[in-house]
Amino acid sequence: MSRPAFDRLLAVVGRELTTVVRTRAFLALTAGFAAVVGMLAWTANAGGYVPLVLDLLAPVEVLVPALALAFGYRALLGDDERGELDVVRTYPVSRATFVFGTYLGRASALLVAVLVPLLAVAAVVPLSGGTESSFLATHAGMDSPIRYVRFVVLTAGFALVVAAVAIAISATAGTARAGLALATAFGVALVLGFDAGLVAGLAGGVVPDAALPSLLALSPNSAFRGLVLETVVGGVETGTPAASPVAGLAGLGAWLVASLAVAVFAVWPKTDR
Amino acid sequence: MTDTSQHGRERPSAESPKTRALEVEGLTHSFGAVDVLSDASFGVEEGTVAALVGPNGSGKTTLLRAILGLLGPDAGSVTLPPPAPSGRRIGYLPQAPSFRPAFTVGETLQFYADLLDGEANVDATLDRVGLSAVRDRRVDALSGGMTRLLGVGQAILGNPPLVVLDEPTGDLDPRMTEYIFEVAADLADDGTTVLLATHNLTGAAETDAVAVLDRGRIVGSGPPEELSASVDAASLREAFLALTAREAGDDEGDPSIRVRTRGGDGA
């Protein structure tokens, strides 16, 4: 009897989750992220959910891609280096099933590592008592736990996108060294490169001001930032240029789909056996 | 007429109907300017153990990978048996099998079993390769021999009609080597076709057929005794040396590669 592809997918997801959970680096990185986020939330003494989001936004933009790339860049590459991909190819499992399963397993672990600390630090707001409330927090209409939940949901989406990029890197890199170099280069490009390029373009007159909201959506980090500023902080002038929400969602979706497609096509060549 | 090997199994008689489970025709493959396979052709009969032997760098692994479909040859064809009900057509043991280190032996095989159509009996497979006692041991705590046996277990999961083993006895002690050849013979007795690449000519001499690969070409094939007789050699080892020396273009052998033996002048 033919086994449904979904069962195979679950087998691959389970293998990835088990692998990640049993890896000491995962526990160390998760603990490190939780410690950084907790320390930031505690020392910022934000006094409100929206101020807390603003305090966490920049660190999250840096740390979530770092975590995603660390968790994912060797997922398929490790199997390739061990020769297990060659073995897997002798089983009746498709490239798409294997890649999606690998992605879902790694992304699930990443979500746990990112979301649990973010949800936990929300407790800082009521505990802090709002003694040093900022302008943002004093506007009741502006600040609520719902806005913080939106931030967490958007962060989850951002994490899923960069996890897909990490899987694509893992499928395309030929060696561990190349994978690490690609992951590092992509991380730097995400955090600094794209925005720096746009600033240079604006300064040089190459990029018109009107095109900025759309162009910002081309980078996952800028798209995520734009979505947070528009839908969480909303209506507050932060002085930071932001992508439009629709363009941001489209940009993140495109990165997700394109990255997974690259991974599926690159993981192994299509054969008739 | 039957012949009995050292492992106690009967070789197929010359009169018995022969169905080829694997047919390789004119395989040619190059890595850049280097021709690795040149018009390699041979076949393996169903339910037999065939050994692929050849000097280092002769193209054995490339040939096996072409058979597996892991690389596309420049020319030639490979005819394979239909897949088993499990959906698996070929089982494969790589030259250096390796698995996720944090998994146990049982978990590793269960993962692969979950990729098959229907249920595969992991416990029976572990029993068959002699790893039942270490079912719960982590892979990174296995010896090299046990890791290879786990690789063999993985290769036979789902009862594929053809099993390809790339140097299954490499670096193994004589007892473990003997055991691997016994497992291969057992598989053949159950109807599985086994093709193994090996440098162990003593073990290869006990298989049903041997193909000698040199510089990417099959320079001799057939039952070990017939292969030896074809070059007037007293043993498979002598036949191997003769066949591969001839391919070097010198019937006397390449003078730069003399095999010295105790009490002799060299071969």
Instruction: Answer whether A87 sits within 8 Å of B83, measured CB to CB.
Output: no
Which residues in A lie closer than 8 A to residue B88 (C-beta atoms)?
90-92
Q: Are residues B104 and B134 in contact, defined by beta-carbon separation less than 8 angstroms?
A: no
Residue B77 host element (H or E): strand B75-79
Contacts with A220 (C-beta within 8 Å, 6 or more apart), sequence order: A65, A158, A161, A162, A165, A190, A251, A252, A255
Q: How far is B104 from chain A (nearest CA, A)?
A: 11
pLDDT of residue B264: 40
B212 or B13, which is more confident: B212
pLDDT of residue B238: 94
Per residue in A222-271, pLDDT (tens digit) is 899 989 988 888 755 555 556 688 889 999 999 999 999 999 999 998 77
- Mean of pLDDT values over B141-156: 95
3-state secondary structure of A247: helix
Instruction: Answer whether A90 sits within 8 Å of B87, measured CB to CB.
Output: no
Q: In what order do the strands lie in the sheet with B34-45?
A: B34-45, B20-31, B75-79
Task: Tell me the domain boundaries of chain A.
Answer: 5-129+138-267
Nearest CA in chain B to A93: B115
Provide ipTM, 2 decimals: 0.86
Give the integer Cα–Cα distance in Å for B85 and A1.
8
Per residue in B99-126, pLDDT (tens digit) is 999 999 999 999 999 999 988 899 999 9
Does pLDDT of B252 surpass 60?
no
Which of B61, B64, B114, B156 is the best residue to mutate to test the A interface, defined by the most A CB atoms within 10 Å of its own CB?
Answer: B114
Using a CB–CB cut-off of 8 Å, the residues of A that contact B are: 1-3, 7-8, 10-11, 14-15, 18-19, 22-23, 78, 82-84, 86-93, 269, 271-273
Q: How far is A109 from chain B (nearest CA, A)?
A: 16
Q: Which of B72, B92, B117 sits opposite A92 (nearest CB)?
A: B117
Give the integer Cα–Cα distance in Å for A148 and A122.
8
B97 touches chain A (CB under 8 A): yes
Give the integer Cα–Cα distance in Å for B38 and A86.
23
pLDDT category at A76 given cuts 50, 70, 90 is very high
Task: Tell me the domain boundaries of chain B.
Answer: 99-158
